[in-house]
Structure 1
């Protein structure tokens, strides 16, 4: 059985290596068929931008995130939580447990190194356009017929 060793150029520091690895993983997610719809939905809803604008290292509940979205659906926090849990299970977001004002359990989500790749940087660059391209109906149709 062959083993896999990660290539790590010696001239890169650990922070740059971690950022590069996060970029590669984010690119894989953008090109995969495993969770693209949830990722695209989070992008379209502005989840990553909401978390990024809150403050560095902010941890927000689905209720707090959904209040920043243009929705009046009272079920939005529950529906959003399902999407965020899936993204967390793939290391796209980070999640921790906390208590709400009434002392009840709630999940708190924050950006991970991977999700930061989908937030435009100071130059406006992110993987959002790639994600939009590979999820576009015309692009998907050009890849051939899908099984029913």
Structure 2
């Protein structure tokens, strides 16, 4: 294994993790809500809610922050080697998985584990193992 030193950014990664953790803590302390993206989005897709404002603001920040970062500096453009059909299918499968797992990696991994939830620990371990297995199969067994 080799590390691409040009893309190796432990300082920025640590700073990003600290900001995500702080944002999750602020949301739970001041709003009593868990910063799980699937739950936040799911709350908007149901019947009209009185708490739609913070949900829209949170999701706008998820989309707007990378766009703003691109305007202020080097554009953030991941190299995704998939077509739109594959991306949509993957997103659909992730959506189904978050429903079965009663949450997503952000809710379970960032918020659930920090609260000591065994269910979140198991869910996060399952997410990670599935990701590791998918990468291994696609790169080593399917020749991708």
Q: Normalising to structure 1: TM-score of the pair?
A: 0.29
Q: Which of the two has greater strand per residue?
A: 1
Q: Normalising to structure 2: TM-score of the pair?
A: 0.30
Q: Which of the two has greater helix per residue?
A: 2
